[in-house]
Amino acid sequence: MNSLYLQLTCILLVSTTAWISSANSQERNEPPILKVPHCDDFEVTGNGESEAWKLATWTPLARRSTAKHEYDSRFKMLYSDTGVYVLFDGIDQQLTATMNDDFLDLWNEDVYECFFWTDQRHTVYFEYEISPLGFELPIIIPNFEGRFLGWRPWHYDGDRKIRKRVSATGGKNASMAKVNGWSAEVFIPYTLLQPLQNVPPNPGGRWRANFYRVDYDNQQVSQWEWAPVGRSFHEFQKFGTLEFQ
């Protein structure tokens, strides 16, 4: 009887361990969730000096497998009654940025990016990119079975205009400057996101989203991501989830 009991106990322990291991593995493969604190509106400075940022914690961006540079990258996010705030920060050695206008192909040089898919009923989302020189690319993306092209905002001024600032540490905030890192801080008003649905978000509401970085030091490309995707940053089905507090 004792031998049979011992055998059954061992089988139960092995089965339980396997189930826990499987559950943990599934959990690791699930898209991440970020709780976004609410805040009062404030002015962006480019380096996160506002007291409001103390409400949020840093979330790391993971280096993609093909990355050539072992730089740390991270971001924070807040939301107010009028829009969302994003703060990016990362180690760098050189600001590979030569483009001197908005709405260019900024992803071909150093850049931070965020994507907001506000309503999963529609395969349309907002993409924002910002360079170390402060130039930006705000576009709406209709994505139909992997076929997509960005559309520029119309009447992009007044209360529809994004507020953004950038800053560098260890060097000048200038094209090809040697630095220790750079940051970008942006405020995206809900008025710009019209007519996307589920905007503005309510407390307890959710958006799907992703955050990225691309760097080109020494003519080698490195990429970072929050929610893991495949070859394209536009694999929105794999985006993480924002939970608005």
Using CA atoms, how far residue 106 sits from 96, 206, 216, 234, in Å, is 11, 28, 12, 16
Same domain for 136 and 172, yes or no, is yes
Same domain for 153 and 203, yes or no, is yes
Using CA atoms, how far residue 97 sits from 21, 23, 172, in Å, is 45, 44, 13
pLDDT in tens, 39-56: 999 999 999 999 999 999
What pLDDT does 3 receive? Answer: 47
What pLDDT does 167 receive? Answer: 98
Q: How many C-beta atoms lie closer than 10 Å to residue 171's C-beta? A: 16
Same domain for 25 and 100, yes or no, is no
Same domain for 11 and 60, yes or no, is no
Q: Report the number of distinct structural domains present in the chain.
A: 2
Same domain for 23 and 37, yes or no, is no
What pLDDT does 28 receive? Answer: 53
Same domain for 50 and 131, yes or no, is yes
Same domain for 168 and 154, yes or no, is yes
Q: How many C-beta atoms lie closer than 10 Å to residue 42's C-beta? A: 15
What pLDDT does 100 receive? Answer: 97
What pLDDT does 149 receive? Answer: 85
Same domain for 127 and 201, yes or no, is yes
Could you tell me which of 164, 202, 168, 193 has the C-alpha nearest to residue 44? 164
pLDDT band of residue 17 (cuts 50, 70, 90) is very low
Residues 54, 95, 240, 72, Cα dihedral to 10°: -70
Same domain for 108 and 57, yes or no, is yes
| Contact predicate 185/48, CB 8 Å | yes
pLDDT in tens, 53-90: 999 999 999 998 888 888 999 999 999 999 999 999 99
Same domain for 123 and 26, yes or no, is no
- Three-state DSSP string of the chain: CHHHHHHHHHHHHHHHHHHHHHHHHHHHHCCCEEEECECCCCCCCCCCCCHHHHHCCCEEEEECCCCCCCCCEEEEEEECCCEEEEEEEEECCECCCCCCCCCCCHHHCCEEEEEEECCCCCCEEEEEEECCCCCEEEEEEEEECCEECCECCCCCCHHHCCEEEEEEECCCCCCCCECCEEEEEEEEEHHHHCCCCCCCCCCCCEEEEEEEEEECHHHCCEEEECCCCCCCCCCHHHCEEEEEC
Same domain for 19 and 56, yes or no, is no
pLDDT in tens, 200-210: 999 999 999 99
Same domain for 47 and 69, yes or no, is yes
| CATH code, domain with 198 | 2.60.40.1190
The whole domain housing 45 covers: 33-244
pLDDT in tens, 106-161: 999 999 999 999 999 999 999 999 999 999 999 999 988 878 889 999 999 999 99
Token pair 């009923």: residue:
121
Pairing mode, strands 163-169 and 240-244: unpaired
Buried b (16+ CB within 10 A) or exposed e, 201-210: beeebbbbbb
